[in-house]
C-alpha cells in the first residue's frame, strides 16, 4: 500500500468534503459524523465533482450527493443509492496520522456486488 498525504484533518469540514487534485485523479476527502472517507471526486453518471454536493445520511448510509442530478453515493462502498447513477465510484483506504489525512489511491477498496 502506498498511502500519501492528501491534506490536514483540520481542512476537512465536519459533514463536508474537500477536493484534493492529484496528477491523475481528483480525490474527495469526506468527513461525516467524525468518520473519514476517500473516493474519486467524479460522479459516475455526469462526470462532475462530488465535492460540489452535500454530505448526509440517506436510508442509514453516509452519502455524498451529486449536485447536478441528485444521485447519492455510499461513502463506504461508492455504490449509488439512487438514480440516475448506476455505476459505483472508486473508494480508497484512508487513515489519519497526527493531523495528516493519508489515502492510498493505488488500492481501491474492492466491494462485493449485491
- pLDDT tens profile 17-37: 999 999 999 999 999 999 999
For the cut 70, the answer to whether the pLDDT of residue 54 exceeds it is yes
**CB–CB of 41/29 below 8 Å?**
no
Q: Please list the residues that pair with 63 across neighbouring strands.
A: 56, 74
How does DSSP classify residue 80?
B
Residue 114 — very low, low, confident or very high, per pLDDT cuts 50/70/90? very low
Query: Topology of 4-103 in CATH?
Result: Rieske Iron-sulfur Protein (2.102.10)
Residue position matching grid coordinates 448506476 = 86
Amino acid at each position: 500500500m502506498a498511502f500519501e498525504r492528501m491534506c490536514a484533518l483540520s481542512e476537512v469540514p465536519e459533514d463536508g468534503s474537500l477536493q484534493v487534485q492529484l496528477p491523475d485523479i481528483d480525490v474527495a476527502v469526506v468527513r461525516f459524523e467524525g468518520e473519514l472517507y476517500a473516493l474519486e471526486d467524479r460522479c459516475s453518471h455526469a462526470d462532475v465533482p462530488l465535492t460540489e454536493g452535500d454530505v448526509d445520511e440517506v436510508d442509514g448510509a453516509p452519502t455524498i450527493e451529486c449536485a447536478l442530478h441528485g444521485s447519492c453515493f455510499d461513502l463506504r462502498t461508492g455504490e449509488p443509492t439512487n438514480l440516475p447513477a448506476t455505476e459505483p465510484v472508486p473508494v480508497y483506504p484512508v487513515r489519519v496520522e497526527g493531523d495528516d489525512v493519508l489515502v492510498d489511491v493505488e488500492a481501491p477498496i474492492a466491494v462485493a456486488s449485491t
